[in-house]
Amino acid sequence: MKSALVVGGLVVVATVAVAGVSAVTQVVSQDQAADQARAMSAGLNCNAALGPITAGPAGSGAGDAAKLNEDQRKNVALIISIGKDRQLPPLAWQVAIQAGMTESGLRNLNYGDRDSLGMFQMRPSMGWGTPAQVVDPHYSINKFYDVLGKVPGWEQQRPGESAQDVERSGFPDRYHKWESMAAHLIGNVGLVPDPTGCGQGTGLFVPAPTEQSRNAIQWALGQQGKPYVWGARTDQQGSFDCSSLMLQAYRAAGITLPRVSRQQYRAGAMLPVEQAQPGDLLFWGYDRSDPDTIHHVAMYLGDGKIVEAQQTGVPVHIRSVRWGEAELMGQAVRPGV
């Protein structure tokens, strides 16, 4: 009888959660649709839905941006200006800013590794152009955008991943470091008002929860009561660990996630955890400033609740979450964006 009561309680909780998720998702979707409709009615050319992604706590990019000198900020303005002239979305500008900051500190260098030159450290010997061309900021920015446009699926990746696809660095993860700064500059650089072309502020939006998010939530809720097993196989549904539950929930919804929580943290658009919406992933790490210490992931349901496979002896369940609780990372992740 005790077991029956527990299972019944879980079913009741699940029903309430699904109703809450539906309501929140509908409101968020309607808000975004209204924003996009306003932009279209104004005849604006924009892609705010794939606007800047942020990798640090809200406002963390402002400090790095404040350290840029006048020449560096002029190069940022030129990257954005040329991107707008080419009718490229804000995400393209961000890719270029992160690449330029990583390669040269957004400076037009006349030296570099081997024959690398200019803001993006392009190598004439590798077909990027003549030495005179690659140190010309107008040429190098346009060339960067030309190559970026040929990267398959670049608009569905984090900007640092696309920067790596263009630059082909031996250190592929280093471009992520400047993600927050680049997002801040896109929204705040004074020489380029309304950089998204979609109205003030919309460049910091990420896409609203989708039908895939709702399907992932429903799948995860259907696993309640099943046991936690560390390292659970992902080709069966009899037991789960934290990341296998997320992987299978989103796989059922048509989105592929990496296997472990640290990798899942880099598998979508990031946003401040306090702005998480139903279907977003929340993460816990031993050091909140170091994603390499992440050890747990759960799915946000809305209304301050998550579904998770927590630990040995605790079956898949719903619980409340507090934004200030210990080890909760400052960023949530929206898979598939």
> pLDDT tens for residues 177-199?
888 788 778 866 634 444 444 44
> Between these two residues, 222 and 269, which has the higher pLDDT value?
222
As a 3-state breakdown, the chain gives helix, strand, coil percent values, each rounded to 5, of 50, 10, 40
Q: What is the pLDDT of residue 60?
A: 57
Do 286 and 293 touch, CB atoms closer than 8 A?
yes
| pLDDT band for position 47 (cuts 50, 70, 90) | very low
Do residue 312 and residue 276 come from a single domain? Answer: yes
Do residue 278 and residue 175 come from a single domain? Answer: no
Do residue 119 and residue 62 come from a single domain? Answer: yes
Global pTM?
A: 0.49
If you average pLDDT over each of 25-34, 93-102, 150-159, 166-175, which comes out highest? Answer: 93-102
Domain boundary among 171, 195, 219: 195
Residue 126: is its pLDDT beyond 70? yes
Q: What is the pLDDT of residue 140?
A: 98
Mean pLDDT for 240-266 is 92
Task: Report d(CA 217, CA 126) in Å as an integer.
Answer: 47
Q: Is residue 35 part of a domain?
A: no
Q: What is the pLDDT of residue 335?
A: 87
Q: Is residue 38 part of a domain?
A: no
Task: Report d(CA 334, CA 266) in Å as an integer.
Answer: 10
Concatenating the DSSP letter of every residue in 295-327 gives: EEEEEEEETTEEEE--BTTB-SEEEE--TTSTT
Do residue 270 and residue 322 come from a single domain? Answer: yes
Do residue 117 and residue 11 come from a single domain? Answer: no
| pLDDT band for position 164 (cuts 50, 70, 90) | very high
Q: What is the pLDDT of residue 189?
A: 61
Task: Report d(CA 181, CA 53) in Å as an integer.
Answer: 10
Do residue 76 and residue 191 come from a single domain? Answer: yes
Domain boundary among 195, 224, 240: 195
Looking up residue 279, the CATH number of its domain turns out to be 3.90.1720.10
Full domain range(s) for residue 60 = 52-195
- In the chain, the number of structural domains is 2
| One-letter amino acid for residue 52 of the chain | P
Q: Is residue 124 part of a domain?
A: yes
Helix (H, G, I), strand (E, B) or coil at 181: helix
Mean pLDDT for 154-159 is 82
Mean pLDDT for 207-234 is 88
Q: Is residue 130 part of a domain?
A: yes
Q: What is the CA radius of gyration of the chain?
A: 22
Q: What is the pLDDT of residue 292?
A: 87
| pLDDT band for position 52 (cuts 50, 70, 90) | low
Least confident interval from 47-61, 98-112, 148-162, 205-219: 47-61
Residue 25: is its pLDDT beyond 70? no
Do 144 and 99 touch, CB atoms closer than 8 A?
yes
Structure-block tokens of residue 123: 């190598």
